Amino acid sequence: MTDTSISRMPNPAEFVPELNDISAALFRATGNRSVPRTTMSLVHLRAGQIVGNTYLTVLNTGFLRKAGVSEERITAVSSWQDAPYFSDAERAALALVEATLQPAPHGRERVSDELYAEVARHYDEKALATLTIAIGQISFFIALAVIGKPQPVSSLADEQWD
């Protein structure tokens, strides 16, 4: 087998150990169960797809598989708008991450009042705050993923950095 190493940098936590504390705090903040873990992983998978990052798509696909999510649902995340596999709450969460990470149409807000109201219909205040933090969490990790280019892994227990 050939060496498939693609990481650009060693583990940044070796140089900035506070990264482990930040990561742990973000996982604690989003792990309060107000939003299903599957929804979080769907949102994070969609974020990885939007930014075109293999590490994030492989990792979150792995999380979804381990949670027992069907291959149809996982595969359909990239085309969720017309896929029959998602609840209205999941659709609202996916729309929110797309609005947050993609440029807004000229002259419009990224997150419109209508979109916010739709998300708020499905999530109470704690869940909406948690979902917002989860989108911030993946945005934080997007920078590490696209700049550092860690190894694609399906589990955080696997070696990600060269």
Domain ranges of the chain: 12-148
Per-residue confidence (pLDDT) for residue 4, from 0 to 100? 61
How far apart CA 122 and CA 38 sit, in angstroms, is 15
pLDDT tens-digit profile of 17-73?
999 999 999 999 999 999 999 999 999 999 999 999 999 999 999 999 999 999 999
Average pLDDT value for residue range 132-151: 94
**Which DSSP string do the residues of 87-113 spell out, in sequence order?**
-HHHHHHHHHHHHHHSPPPTTS-SS-H
Instruction: Say whether pLDDT at 2 is over 70.
Output: no
Distance set, CA 122 to CA 46, 69, 160 (Å): 19, 21, 35
Q: Are 46 and 96 in contact (CB under 8 A)?
A: no
Distance set, CA 112 to CA 7, 79, 89, 93, 128 (Å): 37, 21, 17, 14, 15
Work out the pLDDT band at 1, boundaries 50, 70, 90: very low
How far apart CA 112 and CA 99 sit, in angstroms, is 9
Instruction: Say whether pLDDT at 161 is over 90.
Output: no
Per-residue confidence (pLDDT) for residue 52, from 0 to 100? 95
pLDDT tens-digit profile of 69-81?
999 999 999 999 9
Average pLDDT value for residue range 85-112: 95
Per-residue confidence (pLDDT) for residue 157, from 0 to 100? 75
How far apart CA 132 and CA 136 sit, in angstroms, is 6
What predicted TM-score, i.e. pTM, was given to this entire model? 0.92
Q: What is the CATH number of domain 12-148?
A: 1.20.1290.10
Residue 16 burial (10 A CB sphere; 0-12, 13-18, 19+): exposed
Q: Are 64 and 41 in contact (CB under 8 A)?
A: yes
